[in-house]
Structure 1
Amino acid sequence: MSRDDPRIQAVKNLVELVEDFPKPGILFKNLFPVLRNPAVFNGLIQVLSEDIKARCSGVEVIVGLDSRGFLFGPGVALQLGVAFVPVRKKGKLPGETISVEYSLEYGKDSCEIQKNSIRPGQKVVIIDDLLATGGTMKAACDLMEAAKAEVLACVVVIELNELNGKDKLKYPVISYLS
């Protein structure tokens, strides 16, 4: 899909820029106005689904990152007729889990999936709203590797190119806005 697709342009027109959030010096790109517009939100889900179908042959699972990947992932999974699996912060999932720890600029965090949610060899696409420094997406990729899944791509609506997050990833990154 092209960034010139009218459905992506409609998303771009609704992204709200919020200065100094969540802290001074940050220009936050707020996607929530897209969710308040059913036609634009549906168009975004269609674009993501069509693009993943065209570029990620055989995808079996859409993996959504906590928390805004949960907004896009289930709709895409439904459109593609595949499973959705959430990646959650540690301690948020019942039963046995697979967990990875990762570094943040201010410390460490961890994320996990339920142990039985991904079968070895399943083809997955990881989805989130935004790629910044790449730490969370890399952790999700590491988690998929620990589950022995095959990562086909990392999909984000917005990529902050200046932060070079994709440099931390060894998988293709598909993004629509920067």
Structure 2
Amino acid sequence: MADTRSTAGIATELLIDGFGRIREGVPAVVDGLSADELLWRPDRDANHIAWLVWHLTRQQDEQLSHLGHVPSVWRSGEWAERFDLPYPVDAHGYGMTSAEVGAFALTDPSLLIGYHDAVNELTLRVVRGLSADDYATVIDRNWDPPVTVSVRLVSVLDDAAKHLGQAQYVRGMVRRRT
């Protein structure tokens, strides 16, 4: 039997699955840890779990809101106010110094999961709304080859997966450090 799904349909399914894996991993890496454990750094220059989860979610939020031509959840959902971080509202973690990572404060671990849930909803709306033409649209000509929507989506997913893996590794260190 021939597969009658379109290439765009298959791409959408793959992206939904990939982002769904990130969505499943975020609570698994946060659950059961205290705010202090989520903020623990293996050394003074390392990233902690809370920052890694926040950063992977912020970059996904900014990139997907841009692709969907909608406001970021960080701003529209008042997550910036809820987190009350010592960063500019448009900060997403890229290029932050060790001191800036160290300034990240968290009193309620459920914020990380709630924010990621909201960003995942945005992600699903945007990805489900893409057409075959949208996937091929060039959005950044500053690269060679120019970046298309499909390439950007894979880049966002790749970044999220890497940071989730880092957070999982640090979680293992937190659990074994006593």
TM-score range, shorter chain: under 0.3
TM-score normalised according to structure 1 size: 0.27
Higher helix share: 2
TM-score normalised according to structure 2 size: 0.27
Larger Rg: 2
Using CA pairs under 8 Å that are at least 6 residues apart, name the structure with larger relative contact order, 1 or 2.
2
